[in-house]
Amino acid sequence: MSETNSSRAARRALERLGLRAPRLTTVSGGSICDAWRAETDEGTLFIKVHGAGPSDMFLTEAAGLTWLADAGAPVPEVIGADSESLVLRWLDRSRPDARMAREFGATLARLHQTPADGFGVAPPGATHGYIGSAPMPYGRWDAWGPFYAEARVLPYAQQAHALGHLTGQDLRVIDRLCDRLIAQDPELTAGAAGPVRVHGDLWHGNVLWTSRGAFLIDAAAHGGCGFTDLAMLVLFGTPNLGEIVTGYRSVADLPPSWHQRLGLHQLFPLLVHAVLFGGGYGPRAAAIAANHA
């Protein structure tokens, strides 16, 4: 196979680590990156190289994975990261079963018991946050309501409106909801524990199942509320969700009304999707906001 810019970038990533791979195999790496499997003297590695992503995205991802690993979360081993590439230990995929799902739920609950220094804080070493290819604000908030409104809902609602993916009326409804969040209306903020370490982009595609259990990938890690991770698992139809929740509950209490609270926490990913993809994500977010505003 002839060399491409992408494969040359992957080889440069290995060279910077003092490694070589006689053969690279292209693999799936998401919508904004190219990815490669490399057989090296240090074992099999996974290499992501830039498509259209920002230059510090891989450094942020590596920092987030390391921060989650420090809390005991299962993540791929970070071998190296720079402005051009991210190199991880390769993980072979497997089909999940009920036991693995329960173990994953328990592991996620333990992650959500690991404190963060504030809502919105960045993993050490990360300077600019991202969720997918969208910038994600970092900062430090003492309370969940103002953090969620100012850093996770309003920025994306305003962008979605500017792109024509959210109507003016829908934006006004979301603005009213955010006013209540900023005022810490207990009807909205009750039960929003934290700040704790969260994955931040935990749809089922970012849970990689292996024979050793589930691993977390493509993190948008920050200090937040654990409900945000649970909300994303529910929103995008994670397999074995019931077993995951059972495992979670074996470690941490969930309030009886926990499922009813998830809609509010789903505003963030829905609005991000409205910005990135348009479609029906904006109206879905507006409908949730109308139910809470």
Going by pLDDT thresholds of 50, 70 and 90, the confidence category of residue 1 is: very low
> 42: number of CA atoms within 13 Å, CB side?
19
Q: What is the pLDDT of residues 133-176, one digit of tens each?
A: 899 999 999 999 999 999 999 999 999 999 999 999 999 999 99
253 as an active site residue: the answer is no
- In angstroms, the Cα distances linking 227 to 102, 167, 215, 219 are 17, 27, 19, 16
Q: What is the pLDDT of residues 38-61, one digit of tens each?
A: 999 889 999 999 765 557 899 999
pTM assigned to the model = 0.94
In the set 201, 218, 229, 253, the catalytic residue is 201
